[in-house]
Structure 1
Amino acid sequence: MARTMWKGAISFGLLHAPVSLYPATHQDEIDFDWLRRETLQPVGYKRVVKETGEEVDKDDIIKGVKYEGQYVILSDEEIKAANPKSTHTIDIVGFTDAADVNFLFYETPYYLAPGKGGDKVYALLREAMLKAKKIAVALVVLHNKQHLAALIATPRALVLNTLRWATEVRDTSELDLPEEGLKGVDIKPKELQMATQLINSMTEDWDPAQYRDTFRDDIMAMVKKKFDEGLAEQITDVQVEAPEETSNVVDLTELLRQSLQGTAGRAPRKTAAPKKTPPPAARKTATRTRAAKTAH
């Protein structure tokens, strides 16, 4: 079970539900360590004074806010005491339809689990939100920063998804975009009909498990190949295919026709079996082996 990140309560009118916050996601990516070229020694991040480059111990670092040219120092206790309610409460300020919240605003999801004595209010809020088909808009302070958030009910859990503030989402007026509608770029009705048909032919039930990070799989396959070959410096038989060049003038109708033919009779997507990758122990052994070779 993931560790508790935050403890507080959901404030819903006069009701309070004690809850604990847990991460709802985790990073499944390649862990590229920084290494020194000559010795393969790991290279880490340092806390240094920007002006001098002098390394600073973690215990010697404090928090300060620049105000009128000077720093005002604040301790963690002072930060929490500034507004105790906001740092311990998920304050619901209203409800709305999920479809009304632009996807650009969604940031990071977290699971909420009921705290001691909070099961009944937790379940009541979850079931009421499911019945009303609404999400809650809330305010919460995490990591010394206030967030706008969406509280979303699922059949089992309440999910807190932090949202970006309106000032953090850029307006599209900064971009050079085609005009709304069909006339701006001379889209023909037949092209729109075929594009819609192509979308419909490719529509399927959402199943995130059927998609894989194929880039990660290919990188780890390359890592395994180099490991099996005795940590060779290069893989000589790798061939990189250059993307095909396309002209600016295209026949959309013909491309759409070919695309529709390609989707005809398409079999349902299946989950690809993951490629085997070397276990962490093997990677550590590989690093030590290469370091030993370098040393000799």
Structure 2
Amino acid sequence: MRSIWTGAIGFGLVNIPIKMYSATQGSELDLDMLDKKDHSNIRFKRVNENTGKEVAWENIVKGYKLDGRYVVLTDEDFQKASPEKSKTVAIEEFVKETEIDGIYYETPYYLEPEKSGARAYVLLRDALHKTGMVGFGSFVMRNKEGLCLIKPMEDILVLNRIRWAQEIRPTDELKVPGAAPKPAEMKMALELIKQLSGPFDLSKYKDTYSDELMKLIKAKAKGKAPKTTLRVVHKAKSTDLLGQLKASLGGKKKAS
């Protein structure tokens, strides 16, 4: 892996030099857009909306539409507004991870210590393990300031970028029913949850769609007719919620 950011973790007066690596990679296939006529690659051009002519990169500026007209921003404007460049992930406080709702999580990164920070890295990692806490703070990457939390995952520290509160849309426009479920329905639902509960193992879930799509691509490349796998959608025989719950419980028992 190649590091995408180098800096340090700072908490109190402790400074831990680290390298940051992307912790995720896409599982989808990288498909190209082609012209249906001759399968040539599709290219995108930057075109002037009024003239229809292509515009070179050096002639493109950025602007914000305010009160019906564009305010053009220069490189100097961006520099004045950008956060102070810092190579430190500053831990502001330690919190319980359960206090941070999953909706705020954005992107995870692996943190690797430089040789000079190995002892302090292990100390922070093991202290977080023992306390069950995570470090919460901020850092700047690619001229953009972001919130983050640092947590231990087995032998390494992981940094998770966290969304700002103002990035989460309000829910007041959503229409949610307020009627309480019937006692019998709740009892059945709790029983179904109990039947479907168990130790969580994410490794048993695979991106089978990409695998099947690759099989289809290879078959077509060899001139073979791809096999079609029909996905069966099980529809409830009854519109009665209690009846659906009973059928779900019965189906689970038979399957086991």
Q: TM-score, normalised by structure 1?
A: 0.74
Higher fraction of strand: 2
Matched residue type, 1:74:
D
Q: Does 1:148 align with 2:147?
A: yes
Superposed, 1:60-139 pairs within 5 Å as 60=58, 70-74=71-75, 83-85=84-86, 88-139=87-138
Instruction: Give the conservation status (yes or no) of the 8 Å contact 1:19–1:115.
Output: yes
Partner of 2:219: 225
Unaligned runs of 5+ in 1: 268-296
Q: Secondary structure at the match of 2:74?
A: strand
Matched, 1:189 2:183: yes
> What count of residue pairs does the alignment treat as equivalent?
253
Partner secondary structure for residue 173 of structure 1 = coil
Distance between the aligned counterparts of 2:150 and 2:52, measured in 1?
A: 43
**SS of alignment partner, residue 84 of structure 1:** coil
2:198 is paired with a residue whose SS is coil
Residue 257 of structure 1 and its aligned partner are, at CA, apart by: 1.2
- 2:252 counterpart residue number: 263
Using a 3 Å threshold, how does the CA distance of structure 1 residues 239 and 100 change in structure 2: closer, same or farther? closer
> Distance in 1 between the 2:194 and 2:108 partners?
30
Contact 1:64 1:73 in 2 (8 A): yes
Contact 1:48–1:54 (8 Å) recurs in 2: yes
Q: Which runs of 5+ in 2 are unaligned?
A: none
**Kindly, what percent of the aligned residue pairs are identical?**
33
Superposition pairs for residues 175-214 of structure 1, below 5 Å?
Answer: 175-179=174-178, 184-185=179-180, 187-214=181-208
Matches within 5 A, 1:41-60: 41-48=40-47, 52=51, 54-55=53-54, 60=58
Match of residue 292 from structure 1:
none
Q: Judging changes above 3 Å, is the alpha-carbon distance between structure 1 residues 56 and 141 closer, same or farther for their aligned structure 2 residues? A: farther
Distance 1:178 1:81 in 2: 44
Report SS of the residue matched to 2:36.
Answer: coil
Q: How far apart in 2 are the matches of 1:188 and 1:30?
A: 46
- Answer whether contact 1:63 1:74 (CA < 8 A) is retained: no
Question: What TM-score comes out, normalization by structure 2 length?
Answer: 0.84
**Matches of 2:159 and 2:6, distance apart in 1:** 13
Q: Any idea what the Cα deviations from partners look like across 1:134-187, whole Å, max 9, x if unmatched?
A: 1111111122211111111122111111111111112222200122xxxx15x2
Deviation at 1:99, TM superposition (A): 0.8
1:151–1:159 Cα contact (<8 Å) kept:
yes
Contact 2:150 2:160 in 1 (8 A): yes
After superposition, the Cα gap between the structure-2 partners of 1:44 and 1:122, relative to the gap in structure 1 and judged at 3 Å, is farther
CA deviation vs aligned residue, 1:198-241 (integer Å, no higher than 9, x gap): 111111221111112232233233323322326x7xx7x85877
Shift in CA distance, 128/48, structure 1 to aligned 2, threshold 3 Å: farther
* Matched AA of 2:204: Q
CA contact (8 A) 1:64 1:74 kept: no
Pair 1:240–1:81, CA change in 2 (3 A): closer
Structure 1 match to 2:168: 169
Mapped contact 2:83–2:143 kept (Cα < 8 A): no
Which amino acid in the other structure matches residue 115 of structure 1?
A: E
Verify the 8 A CA contact 2:82 2:144 in the aligned structure 1. Answer: no
